[in-house]
Structure 1
Amino acid sequence: MTTEIQEPDQARLEQTLGQLVVDMGAAMNGALVLIGVDLGLWRALDESGPTTSEQLAARTGLRERYLREWLSAQVASGYLTYEPDNDTFTLSPEHAMALAREDSPVYLAGGLHLISSVYKDRLRITERIRNGEGFGWHEHDPELFVGTEQFFRPGYRANLVDVWLPTLDGVVDKLRAGATVADIGCGHGVSTTLLAQAFPQSTIRGFDYHDGSIARARELAAEEGVDNATFEVASAVDFPGSDYDLICYFDCLHDMGDPVGALRYARGALADDGTVMLVEPFARDSLPENLNPVGRMYYAASTVLCTPSSLDQPVALGLGAQAGERRLADVAAEAGFGTFRRATETPFNLVLEARP
């Protein structure tokens, strides 16, 4: 049987090529954004206002010819504006919040470290996909762990204490009085430390199976002067302790090989009136509903990070970063939880509450 080859539509072909050129430019410029972070260029532009390449070179001590090319690339990417009459480049306040101000709730530049790590691991991940094997979180280039910390920290700082926790039934009152909390899959402990700082009467325990992340979490907590948070190497199905008032999973349950088993274990470790807080990547319940820029980013991350991590573990459910509320509710019900609801959401996260 011969398959008839269709001639391409010229307009659609041009549109396709245009999209690829845009994507290739974005992929290249991601490296330049990080170079700008490392060299302090974004911060210098934020502090100086409209500036020429010569002025930026004098301010930073860097070679003007490099800066001229870097600045031009950022204008082409829409991250800077250029005024030809006086040859100046300007970083807007909005772009400064995303690229220059690390304490901003919408700072995203650091998350490009996460993407950079994927390129470093690409060949190894390709081989695992070819062989149908998983790729463990611990196997990734260390830049992934830095990127994960920097990508999620702004959102957690802006939302966790003041927005998300108050939507959970009675949890804030318990934390203020003194609760026992487990933060499962805590990574570098950003969420753990934020909880400890906000609720000094509570005891916050961070657990992660990756020993390198736990070591970093201890360092960061010490830098913040936190003394009511501890960190231990443990998985989601063997962490110690019982009668927890709150057990949290921040952007990690979908990475687990056995999320049902993890929640079943958590149910056994909860106090009778305890709460499980799930913070998961934002997703609707079907592919067509997730065909948007956030969904695009999360499906890509799920292909090379989340799903390989799950497939490397026992059970290997492969829940994926775009599981959606309905699928997560099924997981919680199978684990034995009687109550499950969406507490709130952001453009990047679903915040879900599960109770026995």
Structure 2
Amino acid sequence: MDYVTSTAIDPAKLDAIVSRAIGDLSAGYGGVMISIGNRLGLYKAMAGAGPLTSRELASRTTCAERYVREWLNSQVAGGYLAYHAATDRFELTPEQALVLANDDSPVFVAGAWAVPASMWADEDKALEAFRTGSGIPWGDHDGRLYCGVASFYRNAYKASLVPEWLPSLDGIIEKLTAGASVADVGCGYGHSTVMMAEAFPASRFRGFDTHHKSVLEARKIAADAGVADRATFEQARAEDYPGAGYDLICFFDCLHDMGDPLAAAKHAARMLAPGGTVMLVEPFANDRVEDNISPVARLYYAASTTICCAHAISDGGRTVLGAQAGEARLRDLFYKAGFTHFRRAMATPFNLILEARL
């Protein structure tokens, strides 16, 4: 096919798009290197160790030195390690360690590279979905998706959920402290549920998810944290999970994945106790496409294309919100479900924290 047209090419614009494409390609290659460094413990072995030679790092991690040396060079080229040319040593700075080595850090991202790895592994499924309009259920994805998503969100929730997000809701801290009933809908691995259970021992928490393996992992995480007595997990859909009289119902980064989010909101309205609150946490998005031009929005749109929309379509697809639904669409949905109060409690570069009440 001949792509040459009579339109004059602007060399500066061409250089800009080529540079962007090469930068993105480099980032894709670099993500493989970050994942390898994370899984082999290379970053952790360097954290706090000062400058190391490739041989010293290979010894610390029982890896082959020649591979380690090339990996180290890739990290220097990408700006993820400092290099001391005079001594041929490599160093992980404290700032770099927070991002790459400390898996409890709120800015740790190394584990999140499992998500794009799963997206590549599922490419053929995505192609088929595009061609046929069919969906891809959450459970049909490559297994790296689940641990990658859990890793991406766990630390952000750990840093913000209890100290910032919950206090931004009217009266919720007082209820949780005194003893409340909480449903965590679409809980995944249950990290959010467990964090709340750890912080508020007088309250009781029930996590619900449709993915059986995630429910099993959530139970294990709760047991390991010592909160299994007050944080339980069941396999159930957002439209029919059991219980009633919940003081707080949470949707953490999941409502947009559902095939019928309106039905989920209506069920939440039925399940709330008088004066109860819905806490809706969704990916940050402005209401217009032209206002969602950023690296974060690009990340969310891409994941939404192959994961979020794909699952919603597989789940009936009555309303396919996508991961960049925006506050206005979400407000309209909750008003249709019978809620009379809906407000933005706060926002971060990654999330909208929204409050809804009847």
TM-score normalised to structure 1 length: 0.97
User: Who is 1:233 aligned against?
Assistant: 235
Aligned residue identity for 1:169? D
> Matches of 1:96 and 1:5 in 2, distance apart?
51
Q: CA deviation at 1:113?
A: 0.9
Determine helix, strand or coil for the equivalent of 1:257. Answer: coil
User: Who is 2:291 aligned against?
Assistant: 289
Deviation per CA, 1:188-232: give whole Å up to 9, x if none. Answer: 100111111111111100000111110111111111111201100
User: Who is 1:194 aligned against?
Assistant: 195
User: Who is 1:47 aligned against?
Assistant: 48
> Matches of 1:170 and 1:86 in 2, distance apart?
58
Determine helix, strand or coil for the equivalent of 2:106. Answer: coil
Work out whether residues 244 and 273 of structure 2, in 8 Å CA contact, stay in contact via their aligned partners in 1: yes
Aligned residue identity for 1:229? A
Would you say 1:136 and 2:137 are equivalent positions? yes
Q: CA deviation at 1:4?
A: 5.3
Would you say 1:203 and 2:208 are equivalent positions? no
> Matches of 2:6 and 2:226 in 1, distance apart?
66
> Matches of 1:252 and 1:306 in 2, distance apart?
9
> Matches of 1:286 and 1:354 in 2, distance apart?
22
Deviation per CA, 1:1-29: give whole Å up to 9, x if none. Answer: xx954242222222222211111111111
Work out whether residues 31 and 113 of structure 2, in 8 Å CA contact, stay in contact via their aligned partners in 1: yes
Determine helix, strand or coil for the equivalent of 1:240. Answer: coil
Deviation per CA, 1:240-267: give whole Å up to 9, x if none. Answer: 0011000000000011111111001100
Determine helix, strand or coil for the equivalent of 1:47. Answer: coil
User: Who is 2:95 aligned against?
Assistant: 94
Work out whether residues 280 and 355 of structure 2, in 8 Å CA contact, stay in contact via their aligned partners in 1: yes
User: Who is 1:307 aligned against?
Assistant: 309
> Matches of 1:100 and 1:46 in 2, distance apart?
7
Work out whether residues 48 and 92 of structure 2, in 8 Å CA contact, stay in contact via their aligned partners in 1: no
Quote the RMSD (CA, aligned, Å): 1.2
> Matches of 1:4 and 1:143 in 2, distance apart?
43
Aligned residue identity for 1:43? K
1:155-194 aligned within 5 A: 155-194=156-195
> Matches of 1:14 and 1:319 in 2, distance apart?
35
User: Who is 1:104 aligned against?
Assistant: 105
What 5-or-longer segments of structure 1 have no aligned partner? none
Q: CA deviation at 1:76?
A: 1.1
The number of aligned residues is: 354
User: Who is 1:6 aligned against?
Assistant: 7
> Matches of 1:130 and 1:49 in 2, distance apart?
52
Deviation per CA, 1:84-129: give whole Å up to 9, x if none. Answer: 1111112121111111001111111111111111111111111111
Deviation per CA, 1:262-291: give whole Å up to 9, x if none. Answer: 001100110111000001001111112110
Would you say 1:121 and 2:108 are equivalent positions? no
